[in-house]
Amino acid sequence: MRLVIIGGSDAGTGAALRAREVAPDLEVTVVVADAFPNYSICGLPFYVSGEVPDPQLLAHRTVAEIEREGVGLLLEHVASQIDPAGQTVTVVDRRGQARQLPYDRLVIGTGAVPVWPDIPGLDLPGVFPLHTMEDSFLVHEHLLRERPESVVIVGSGYIGLEMADALTLRGLRVTLVGRSPSVLPTVAPSLGRVLEVELGRHEVEVINGMPVQAIRAEGSRLVVAGPAGFERSGDVVLVAVGVRPNSELAAAAGVSTGIKGAIRVNGRMETNLPGVYAAGDCVETWHRLLGRYAYLPLGTTAHKQGRVAGENAAGGEREFAGSLGTQVVKVFELVAARTGLRDHEASEAGFDPVATQVTIWDHKRYYPGAEELLIRVTGDRQSGRLLGVQMVGPYRSEVAKRIDIYATALFHGMRVEELNDLDLSYTPPVSSPWDPVHAAAQAWAKALDQRREAEVAAVGVGQSDQG
C-alpha cells in the first residue's frame, strides 16, 4: 500500500513515522515544499536572535534520520493538484518539472500561512513575514548585510513578542505595534500589562490599539502609518499578525472546509473524501472543553494529530483526544502561559465564569531567589468546574510546569477545588507544601464563597426592605 503525505512539518513527519511503525512494509512518501522537513518553526526567533547559531539545530529529526525509518522524502517539491478519483497527487519540482504520485491513502499536512494584511507597502524591500525557514534566512541575511539599527514589528501576539525579545538581544531598537488593547491578546489584559512592563524594561516601545494602514519608504527608512497621523519608522519591518490554514489545495480537490477555511476532519482525522486524512495547522481542531471544533494552530497539536492520522492511514483505529489551547511564551525574563478558556470565551460557551487573580511566591520565601507568580483561575460558578488558567512569572519559576498541571486537570474535567487533592512535590527551593497550583485554587474557592455570601446577604436585605 502506498501512503503519500503532503507537507513535511510536524503533522506530516509525525504521520509518516507513525505509519511506518504501525505498518513497516508501507511505502511512505512525504512531499516537502522546501528543504527542511520536520524543522521547529517555533525555534525561528531563537535562530534570528543568535541564541541558536546553526539553523540545522532546529531540526526535530534530520533528513537522514527520517529516511532511516523507511520514509521517502521529496524535498523542494510542491503539490499542485490532488485527483481523488484517480488517487494521484501532481507534484512540481523547482525546475517546473511535474509528475504524478499514485496513492492508496493520502494525508494532507499543508500547515498554515501568514496572514498578510491588505495594506500598501508590504512588498517593499526590508518588509518581512516570519513563518518558514526561508523567511528566517531572509531576515537573518538582511540583518547581517544591512546591519539595521531599528525595527518595527507589526503584531503583538506570540511571534511579535518573541521577535521583540530576539531583535533586542541582537542590539536593535524595537517598536511593537498591535491592534489589541494589550500585548498577547490570548491572555487577560491585566497579564498583558505585566508583559508590557517587562518589554519597557528592555526599552521596547509598545503601542497598543493601533491598526496599521500602510507602510512606505522614506529614503533608507520604512515608515509604518496608522490612523490619526500615527507614524513610526525603522530600518526593518516584520509583520506577524497571525496565520490562516493553508487549505486551498485540499478544497480544490473537494475536501470540505469550515472554520476560517480549515479542513474539516472527524476524530480519526479523516476528511470527507475516502482514504484522505488531514492534520496540523490546516485543519479544524476538536476543543476538548468546548465540545466543538475550533481553529487552534499549535505545534503540539499538530504532532498529536499527525500521529493519529498516520496510524489510521496505516490501518489503525485511533482518535484524537482534543486540544485545550495550551500555550506558553518567553518574553525576556518572564514567561506567560495559558490553557482552557478566558472569561469571555467561557461566557460565550454558556458557562457562568468566576475568575480570581492572585500573586503567589513560587517557592518558600525564606529560601533565596523566591519570585512572584501571577495566576488567574477561571471556574464555573454553578458546577465548580475548572475552565481556564493564565499565568505570568519569571523564566526560572516553573510557569510551564504549573500550566501543564492545570492543563491535565482540564483534560480530565476536574473541579477547581479538586486541585487541592493533587499530590504535588515539595521542597523549599522549588515549591511550598501548598504549591501555587493549590494556593490559586484555594483563592478561587474563597472568592466564590464570599460572592455567594454577599448574594445571600443582598437577598436578605431585599426581603427586609419589602417587609
User: Catalytic residue numbers?
Assistant: 42
Match 507544601 to its residue by C-alpha cell.
433
* Residues 6+ positions from 27 with CB-CB distance below 8 Å: 1, 2, 3, 72
Nearest alpha carbon to residue 112 among 9, 222, 257: 9
At 16, list the grid cell. 509518516
Phi, psi of 435 (to 5 degrees): -60, 155
| CA terminus-to-terminus distance, the chain | 81
Taking CA atoms, 243 is separated from 87, 110, 255, 382, in Å, by: 30, 13, 20, 36
Q: Name the β-bridge partners of 113.
A: 244
- Evaluate whether 284 touches 293 at the Cβ level (below 8 Å): yes
Kind plus residue range of the DSSP H or E element containing 445: helix 436-466
* Residues 6+ positions from 201 with CB-CB distance below 8 Å: 332
Phi, psi of 415 (to 5 degrees): -85, 155
Query: Max CA-CA distance within the chain?
Result: 88
At 277, list the grid cell. 486524512
Query: Which ranges in 81-129 belong to alpha helices (H)?
Result: none
Residues of 450-466 as b/e, b for ≥16 C-beta within 10 angstroms?
A: eeeeeeeeeeeeeeeee
- Evaluate whether 172 touches 202 at the Cβ level (below 8 Å): no
Please write down the long-range contacts of 211-215, taking CB distance under 8 Å and 24 or more positions apart. Answer: 211/179, 212/117, 212/119, 212/154, 212/177, 213/119, 214/119, 214/120, 214/121, 215/119, 215/120, 215/121, 215/122, 215/124, 215/127
Residues of 225-252 as b/e, b for ≥16 C-beta within 10 angstroms?
A: bbeeeeebbbbbbbbbbebbbbbebbee
* Residues 6+ positions from 70 with CB-CB distance below 8 Å: 20, 24, 28
- Evaluate whether 6 touches 73 at the Cβ level (below 8 Å): no
Phi, psi of 444 (to 5 degrees): -65, -45
* Residues 6+ positions from 205 with CB-CB distance below 8 Å: 174, 175, 176, 232
Taking CA atoms, 175 is separated from 196, 220, 334, 359, in Å, by: 12, 17, 19, 29
